[in-house]
Amino acid sequence: MSTPATIASSSPAPRTPSRFGYASALFCRECGQTCELGAQHACAECFGPLEVSYDFPRLSRESIAAGPPTIWRYASLLPVPPDIAGTPNTEPGCTRLVRADRLASALGMRALWVKDERGNPTHSFKDRVVAVALAAAVEMGYKVLACPSTGNLANAVAAAAARAGIRSVVLIPASLEAQKILATAVYGGTMVLVDGSYDDVNRLASELADDREDWAFVNVNVRPYYAEGSKTIGFEIAEQLGWRLPRQIVVPVASGAQLVKIDKAFREFATLGLVEDAPYRVFGAQATGCAPVAAAFRAGQDVVQPVRPDTIAKSLAIGNPADGPYVLDVTRRTGGAVADVGDDEIVDAIRLLAATEGIFGETAVGVTLATTRRLLESGLLDPEAETVIINSGDGLKTLDAVAGSVPSDTPIRPTLEAFAALESLAQSRKAIVP
Ligand SMILES: Cc1ncc(COP(=O)(O)O)c(C=O)c1O
Ligand SMILES: [Zn+2]
């Protein structure tokens, strides 16, 4: 797998940003061929995926910190126009980085943080990538914002399009959680339920993207721009830690774009001198019912064999992940790993995070936290090293996952005796926090 020689360069002379900010070109992640910024997403030479490169201006911590409390404080590091903060968008980002001492103690770790992406406008990190994709789509003259989605992306696209006053079309598997379907439909765009897996939906979206010239499928034909939005998670973590990188980070993997872009963000900050260029290790988390990248990692392979997903972690149920090989590159290069966990462990981990830190995350964080546990047990994750885990979405969108595992009590009569009887029953129940 080829790795680009330079991901960022910094120019000493003052530069004028273009309509794509300081982005300078697209380059092929496979053969390195470059092409002009525009509406293409695959290399004309080898069909490899395209990636944005930049000619950054000199940036300081102070100038970033003086920016708005949204992802647009990092606008100079994204392929967006300089006036982006003034355009109608959902203004995602600047979510909390929560010091998780009670969770750390339950896991036997020294220093643990949870990046809590529920704070975004539609309660997942997908608002970040959609905001960047929307900006690029508008610049390139697209008229419709569209996507295939495992749920959270559909919420984010429908909301961002509503706010920008343009049409949205989202395609989702019909088997998604009811909460995610409702939280898309409410924005009033076009929502299409498809009988099939996410990979079937994605194939249909690719065919439609070829056919509908003015539709921007954020994660298909606008993907190089869209994926850059996930860098802002990495930028924020570094800034919130006091302008330094964590030693370890555990990230959920579906397509793999989030993990790859957090690594890119850490490298860009180091290249630009905004943080010390200290070593860090990146770990990927998957559900056993959809673990093609973890399987390739374990087998020492560079290619990812597609699987048919079967897991409660529907947001991560991508059987043929576009960025799978690059996740393998990043985790191997940094000395990390990719591992997977079963559905029961996912539910336990959702409850553990809620019971220790008051954070109710969705099934994706169940995967991330349970994998963190697994990696600690296997000695791959160092309990002494400062670690960040990503809570990428909201538990209120995946209620069924925990519905069977938490008590749903019948009401009591309004008497002290009835209350006392309830108390003794509660004491006999298994506590989730050790
Ligand atoms: C909540 C949540 N976490 C993580 C992911 C994984 O993101 P990626 O496809 O960038 O690997 C998704 C993808 O849909 C998601 O919805
Ligand atoms: Zn190429």
Q: Can you give the pLDDT at residue 5?
A: 34
Ligand nearest to the CA of 43: 2
Residues in the chain, overall count:
434
| Ligand 1 atom at shortest distance from the alpha carbon of 219 | 9
Closest residue to atom 6 of ligand 1, CA basis:
254
Q: Can you give the pLDDT at residue 224?
A: 97
CA 123 to ligand 2 centroid distance, Å? 36
| Ligand 1 atom at shortest distance from the alpha carbon of 117 | 1
CA 13 to ligand 1 centroid distance, Å? 38
Residue 246 makes CB contacts below 8 A (sequence gap 6+) with 113, 237, 280, 386, 387, 388
CA 30 to ligand 2 centroid distance, Å? 5
Ligand nearest to the CA of 320: 1
pLDDT tens digits, one per residue of 135-184 = 999 999 999 999 999 999 999 999 999 999 999 999 999 999 999 999 99
CA 26 to ligand 2 centroid distance, Å? 11
Question: If you compute the radius of gyration of the chain from its CA atoms, what whole number of angstroms results?
Answer: 22
Q: Which of 147, 283, 316, 365 to mutate to test the pocket of ligand 1 (most atoms within 8 A of CB)?
A: 316
Ligand nearest to the CA of 177: 1
Q: Which of 247, 279, 262 is nearest to 117 (CA)?
A: 262
| Ligand 1 atom at shortest distance from the alpha carbon of 256 | 11
CA 153 to ligand 1 centroid distance, Å? 8
pLDDT tens digits, one per residue of 317-349 = 999 999 999 999 999 999 999 999 999 999 999
Q: Can you give the pLDDT at residue 426?
A: 76
Average pLDDT of the chain to the nearest whole number = 94
Token readout for 228 is 């850059």
> Beta strand 248-252 with 387-391: parallel, antiparallel or unpaired?
parallel
User: Which element (helix H / strand E) includes 98?
Assistant: strand 96-99
Closest residue to atom 2 of ligand 1, CA basis:
392
* Ranges of the chain whose pLDDT falls below 50: 1-6, 434
Ligand nearest to the CA of 33: 2
CA 4 to ligand 1 centroid distance, Å? 24
CA 57 to ligand 1 centroid distance, Å? 31
Closest residue to atom 7 of ligand 1, CA basis:
254
Contact (Cβ atoms closer than 8 angstroms) between residue 144 and residue 215? yes
Ligand nearest to the CA of 32: 2
For residue 332, CA distances in Å to 293, 300, 301, 325 come to 12, 10, 11, 11
Pocket of ligand 1 (CB under 6 A): 124, 150, 152-153, 252-258, 315-316, 362, 364, 392-393
User: Which residue's entry shows tokens 């690059």?
Assistant: 326
Q: Which of 122, 132, 152, 170 to mutate to test the pocket of ligand 1 (most atoms within 8 A of CB)?
A: 152
| Ligand 1 atom at shortest distance from the alpha carbon of 257 | 10
Give the rounded distance of the alpha carbon of 185 from its chain centre.
22
Q: Can you give the pLDDT at residue 2?
A: 37
Q: Can you give the pLDDT at residue 404?
A: 86
In single-letter form, the type of residue at position 325 comes to P
CA 50 to ligand 2 centroid distance, Å? 8
Rounded to the nearest 5 percent, the helix, strand and coil shares of the chain are 40, 20, 40
Q: Can you give the pLDDT at residue 33?
A: 96
Closest residue to atom 16 of ligand 1, CA basis:
315
CA 426 to ligand 1 centroid distance, Å? 36
Work out the end-to-end distance of the chain between its first and last CA atoms, rounded to an integer number of angstroms.
44
